[in-house]
A and B are shown apart, each in its own frame.
Chain A
């Protein structure tokens, strides 16, 4: 079973997303801050991290960079509520982000995308 880490300061979003993805068969843990998220990642070593770009204590890109340094294999998905410029997107990809999703997102689609990325990683 793949482990998911969801980092978002919005508890409702975290929980709803976690429960939906649990229904899809993922094991989910959550963090409300960047710091907590990095700590949790150290503990659980997640296969997938879904994180908001804007967090109270840090930006999603920094977590992305930290997590990518820690593990090359972790799938990093960035969540955003606003439009990102292509510069921002490029920056994110360079720091190791695998995917961007804009709120609100189609959960079925997300689920399939995650599974796809996971299976491709396993194939590597």
Chain B
């Protein structure tokens, strides 16, 4: 039998297959799903950054153009050029009051000579400078405006914004009379960036001059408000080498950090807005999503495992039952086979086949058991028969031994008898001689001598009788049966039997008068012996009964010879047929032995029924001569 650990292997195998079948596609789909989602999330993140960058680029443009417009508005005031410096100063002071980011305002002529200079913390009359050949002067005179010359005032970034001041009087019209220049603090951009990109999320944004990498603004004020404020060269290189006006992507830095960044050029300026975020933060959503997807996947796995386990159990259960049932069946425990209901599938068919097999086996085993029982029964009967036969054989053997013993006795008796007959003959002769010699004729000589001679003669006769009896019993003469009618034969026998006068005969012969095959000499001896015995036990008065009765099957006839004597006690009764057993004072004990021998030789039976005080009945049963029985023909 399989060890218990192997139980359910099928279920586990099925479980494995189920898991493989269900989880493999799910894993593939999940993997791709996560990939797709992640990439779209990244795209979304990037696109958002791009939007932010573009948005802030616009904001930055607007920021600087606001101040340019303020300057242009002022410069465009009619007669500004023609105004006296005091008026001009009034205007400029008002601008300073309104626009806090404007740090300093200057007015210079077309040659670059500074004519008016107002600013915060400059004092009442600051020294005037000459801007000849300054970039902003040339640009403003040529194009009407200028935004540039980024420099740090202290630690704060500033930009120079200049617009041409038109001279209404001097020809050609529109030819600039000078330039209105302002130094503008760019701190506002930083604070705007700081608001737009709070420190949380690790995202950062910066505005950089593309040409020299000047850091104009940064979402983190600490990064920008210092004298050596700059982005890392690596980042700068990536940002400043882009040709498209806006874009973005992932960047791998040499220190191992990975960034997701976007940039957008600020319109009309050489500035670029740069937005960045470490990849791990940028993709946090994707990571979160992946985590969630994995969680759901894990849940699904657990669910599928349980479902598969249940399914595998469901499928394996009937098979397990079958296995248990088969094991029971193997042990012949037909009734202990577990309950199984065939389902409408192959396992059901298997179950049905199994149940059919069980029935067959049960039947066959039943037959076998029955056969075994019958065999055992037959065996017992055989044993009984063998025992019976053994008993018969033993009886036969005993009989044989008995016969041999009797034969030996007979032989001895024959020898002894013969040897005794000689002396008896001699005595007999001598007595006869004496009797003759003495002339003992009746009424003659001495009566006493005569009496004794008679006694001797009588004893000789008796001795001779005994010897005759012994010799008769031991004689092994051949049986000479002849067919006689029982009644006829018995009638004749009884008619010549010398019944004494005190004995009456009760004779009742069955009128069927069946024929029997008997050796008349021997059978006569047997009947005579029985009658002799009967007479002997009734010395005073009594009746001898001789009855015959044909058996109902007409196959045998019984001869009853009974007396009304004292009966035979049971302990004696069983011995009376034994040779040489006698209760008489003088007797050989052979009378009944001869009866039995004779009856045995006729294949008959003799038994005795005796009631003490009432008498004894001997029964000799002889087979009826079949051929002559009316109505019965031999086969």
Contact = CB atoms under 8 A, between A and B. Distances in A.
A17 B414 contact: no
A17 B468 CA distance: 22
B57 interface: no
Interface in B402-431: 414, 417-419, 421-430
Nearest to A79: B425
B414 A13 contact: no
B437 interface: yes
A19 to B, nearest CB: 5
Interface in A1-30: 10, 12-13, 16-17, 19-20, 23
Interface string B427-442: 1111011001100000
Nearest to A8: B422
A43 interface: no
Contacts of B430: 16
Q: Chain B interface mostly helix, strand, loop or mixed?
A: helix
A54 to B, nearest CB: 8
A117 interface: no
B418 A16 contact: no
B464 interface: yes
Nearest to A12: B426
A85 B471 CA distance: 13
A85 B414 contact: no
Contacts of B422: 10, 13, 81, 103
B437 A107 contact: no
B520 to A, nearest CB: 15
Nearest to A9: B422
B88 to A, nearest CB: 199
B596 to A, nearest CB: 20
B475 interface: yes
Contact of B421 (A17, A20, A23, A104): A104
Given A81-B419, A81-B421, A105 B414 contact: no
Nearest to B422: A10
A20 B428 CA distance: 10
Given A13-B429, A20-B433, A105-B428, A82 B464 contact: no
A104 B419 contact: no
Contacts of B429: 13, 16-17, 19-20, 104, 107
Interface in B469-486: 471-472, 475, 477
Contacts of B414: 82
Interface-centre pick from B414, B430, B472 (highest chain A CB count, 10 A): B430
A104 B471 contact: no
A23 B426 contact: no
B177 to A, nearest CB: 199
B460 interface: yes
Contacts of A104: 421, 424-425, 427-429, 460, 464
A105 B431 CA distance: 12
B425 A20 contact: no
Most chain A CB within 10 A, of B419, B421, B471, is at B421
A83 B469 CA distance: 11
Given A20-B436, A83-B475, A107 B428 contact: yes
B433 A23 contact: yes
A105 B433 CA distance: 13
B453 to A, nearest CB: 13
A18 B540 CA distance: 45
A82 B432 contact: no
Contacts of A105: 425, 428
Contacts of A16: 426, 429-430, 433
A123 B143 CA distance: 218
A36 interface: no
Contacts of B417: 81-82
A31 B371 CA distance: 84
Nearest to B475: A83
Interface string A93-122: 000000000111101100000000000000
A81 B418 contact: yes
A18 to B, nearest CB: 9
A10 B423 CA distance: 9
Contacts of B419: 81
Contacts of A107: 428-429, 432
B433 A85 contact: no
B467 to A, nearest CB: 9
Nearest to B463: A104
A104 B421 CA distance: 6
Interface string B307-351: 000000000000000000000000000000000000000000000
A10 B471 contact: no
A10 B428 CA distance: 14
Contacts of B460: 104
A13 B471 contact: no
Interface string A50-85: 000000000000000000000000000000011101
B618 to A, nearest CB: 26
Given A82-B418, A83-B471, A103 B424 contact: yes
Contacts of A83: 471-472, 475, 477
Contacts of A82: 414, 417-418, 421, 471
Contacts of B464: 104
A110 B422 CA distance: 16
Contact of B477 (A13, A85, A108): A85
B419 to A, nearest CB: 7
A102 to B, nearest CB: 8
A105 B472 CA distance: 18
B475 A20 contact: no
Contacts of A17: 425, 429
B426 A20 contact: no
A12 B423 CA distance: 8
A16 B433 CA distance: 7
Nearest to B474: A83
A70 B20 CA distance: 135
Contacts of B433: 16, 19-20, 23
A60 to B, nearest CB: 14
Contacts of A103: 421-422, 424-425
A103 B464 CA distance: 9
30 contacts: A10-B422, A12-B426, A13-B422, A13-B425, A17-B429, A19-B433, A20-B429, A20-B433, A20-B436, A23-B433, A23-B437, A81-B418, A81-B419, A81-B421, A81-B425, A82-B417, A82-B421, A83-B472, A83-B475, A83-B477, A85-B477, A102-B421, A103-B421, A103-B422, A104-B425, A104-B427, A104-B429, A105-B425, A107-B429, A107-B432
Given A17-B429, A104-B428, A104-B460, 12 more contacts: A12-B426, A13-B426, A19-B429, A20-B432, A81-B425, A82-B417, A82-B471, A83-B472, A85-B477, A104-B425, A104-B427, A105-B425
